[in-house]
Amino acid sequence: MRPSLLRRVLVALLVLLPVLTLAAPKKEPAAGEVMYRYTTPDGNMAVSATLNQQAIHAGYQVLDLNGQVIRREPAAPPEEQARRREAMEAKRQAQQRARQDKELERLYAGPEDAVRARERQMEALDLRISYATNTLSQLEEKRDQEVSVAARAERAGRAVPDGTREAIDGYERRIAHVRQEIAGYEKDKQAVREQYEPIIKRLEELQDS
């Protein structure tokens, strides 16, 4: 190649080099070499090495480690945001249900096992109710005896002894307390039924699936 022609080629390459450099696509840094800047729901600007779902919905900027903006991602349209939220919620519920199912299967061998666990708790409460009911009957009987003593004194025109009045009052307080205990046990039985109903139903569904 003649020297004059060579010089013209070199000059042309020097002129085109900046243009070619600008036209070449920039390679975005790999994960771990970028940061993300986005606006939080309370209006503050945040910079993080990871993206959360809110930032993905609302739009964000990709920064290099020097803080220079590499790329801007606009906010998703409202309908797309709604679709993503619904999908995320469905995924969250499915994951939660899977964890709950795994825990149920760890605790119970099957629906029959859960039924037996429920019945054991019911039987324990029934035993407490039976004991409290017997106690109540004894207290009522003793109270009635003291009431009879007071009635005889009044029929005879005598004052009711202070000890008899105090005994009646004491039995009444104890009777009221035992009745509250029995009512509480009955509520506990209803709570056990309500607690195990969805457990047994879900175990039956898992068994049939």
204 has pLDDT over 70: yes
Chain segment 106-121, per-residue pLDDT in tens: 999 999 999 999 999 9
- Residue 139 sits in the same domain as residue 100: no
| Residue 62 β-bridge partners | 36, 71
31 has pLDDT over 90: no
Domain stop point among 51, 75, 99: 75
pTM assigned to the model: 0.58
pLDDT at 178: 97
Query: Which domain does 165 fall in, by range?
Result: 109-208
As a whole number of angstroms, the distance between CA 154 and CA 102 comes to 70
- Residue 88 sits in the same domain as residue 163: no
Q: Give the three-class secondary structure for 51.
A: coil
- Residue 128 sits in the same domain as residue 46: no
As a whole number of angstroms, the distance between CA 115 and CA 122 comes to 10
As a whole number of angstroms, the distance between CA 163 and CA 150 comes to 10
Structure tokens at 176: 């009221």
Q: What is the mean pLDDT of residues 127-155?
A: 96
For the chain, how many structural domains are there in total?
3
